[in-house]
Chain A
């Protein structure tokens, strides 16, 4: 294997991993606040559709991106409201959100299948792109990829060094203590849904605005679920999520290239790779990480106090 063959695959891995990365960080924020969101797949799909549609109508991918963030946030806020105010089972509510959003996105999106919208194209950064190995892999990407490099730092610092981050984590670790301190668990959790949902929506928009500039039904293809699994792999830390997302991006890019190269391996078997890897990664990280990471009140709705 020569450098000319490896570097494009690595660059493609970063690109393919970016939507998963956004979604994973969004899910981490929500889970840190105690909201288990199994609706990531659906929220991503809605983000992808909203981003595509607004970008197509207005001609501005930036407006599309804003719409995607809004759609993702709306979907996650709906889940958050059903759980925190309706005190509903978080697992079932997340599943309901995915079913609803998948149907909605495919229903609304059907007329636009095959149409193209303006999106984000690669913009190599002069100077940085000359760095050997790192340059071609990390600095010949599009704006959204560059923005994602800041995510671990921003969310990491946000969670551990800001007042809002600490309170948000308290809502996920001990809602009772949080409440005793006079904070509103519901409001903190809804805040996490808002910000996390925006990131998840952007992850979806990456698929329809940067990865391709097209809308297809089911464009997320399980990436939302991979993101949910990656949260466990990342032990609820944004930095580790980056590693996991690029790992999955690598497998997806590798699999696509093998298909394009016309190997003897049937395409259905190659397509299984990311899903099989998710199971393996989940099994291994669950075994190792059983006693660290998961917020104590994850998936638990505090009962109303009388």
Chain B
């Protein structure tokens, strides 16, 4: 008798992927707890803080939504390219460039234009900047065959340095006592909050973008062609689907979405540009995109979940002095476990008597 791996005849039902997700979360938390214990910290209390504090108060819940907004937008963009097996991991840099683009508009016209003109203009500039940043990777991929993975990643480093160059140099606020930051935005350049909450209008933008994108992907020719390119590039080329064009489109749209997230973050969350807006949303977005199985609806759920993890981690940092890298590690473990779990959704191990 021997054990053999066999492809599943029919795919695992939906609860299978839910189970895999929960299992991954459990393993990641267990690894995190074990490491806390190894450092002599109260592991159980740590886990209680990590999971409990995000839902502990209205303030914390609002924080979860606020943090989920940039994650959601970045993850939609990243996930869009993942559908085509195009590995855009440059959301971090595109996010930075988006923030830079929005800031350029805010600093130039902040005092003269009304909010109704200024804010759309900032959003547009941010999407343009993020999209063009991604376009570099798209152009090099299409013309030279350069791996978009490495190019977008290098563009992350460069994008953050562009941001730093600006806030340390030309855009530095003379009144900031030497801190690297721009002057505070004019009131017209700040995205307002929804009445009665701290949550800004970005959440409505997320809703619109999310619905729009899933409709396009499900019901349009564009969505169909992207799906074909993702499933089988050779077949796509044979069917005269412009593969290279779609590669560029998914990269640029992803860049624009990350840029939009950068705009919301710089305008609504901080009201000025400073290096601290770069908190790794672009990298976490990769985790969100993959964990959600590239389904737009699940992206929102997973983005909220990982945002809650970040909120919990902030309490953990305050209460137990745990470094922020703890969250990165938990995210990485989760991603790896979901990958391992993917095995069970596609294959099964059966007994075969020899």
Contacts and interface: CB of A to CB of B under 8 A. Distances in A.
- Looking at chain B's contact residues, the main secondary structure is helix
Interface in A230-256: 232
A222 B160 CA distance: 13
B215 interface: no
B154 A96 contact: no
Contact of A103 (B4, B7, B326): B326
Contacts of B336: 78, 82, 93, 96-97, 100
Nearest to A111: B39
B283 A99 contact: yes
A228 B105 CA distance: 37
B340 A82 contact: yes
Contacts of B144: 283-284, 286-287
Interface stretch (A56-64, A192-200, A268-276): A268-276
Nearest to A87: B343
Interface string B279-313: 00001001100100000000000000000000000
Interface stretch (B61-69, B163-171, B195-203): B163-171
Contact of A222 (B89, B154, B168): B154
A51 to B, nearest CB: 18
B340 A100 contact: no
Contacts of A284: 144
Given A99-B287, A107-B326, A272-B158, A86 B169 contact: no
A259 to B, nearest CB: 13
B58 interface: no
A127 interface: no
B328 A102 contact: yes
Given A96-B336, A99-B283, A103-B329, A88 B164 contact: no
A282 B146 contact: yes
A222 B89 CA distance: 14
A38 B157 CA distance: 16
A103 B165 contact: no
Interface in A46-66: none
Given A283-B144, A304-B4, A38 B149 contact: yes
A225 interface: yes
A89 B283 CA distance: 18
A89 B339 contact: yes
Contacts of B183: none
A306 B8 CA distance: 12
Given A95-B286, A283-B140, A106 B161 contact: no
Interface of B: 4-7, 35, 87, 89, 136, 140, 143-147, 149-151, 153-155, 157-158, 161-162, 164-165, 168-169, 283, 286-287, 290, 322-323, 325-333, 335-336, 339-340, 342-343, 346-347
Interface of A: 38, 78, 82, 85-89, 91-93, 95-108, 110, 217, 222, 225, 228-229, 232, 266, 268-269, 271-272, 275-276, 278-279, 282-284, 286-287, 290, 303-304, 306
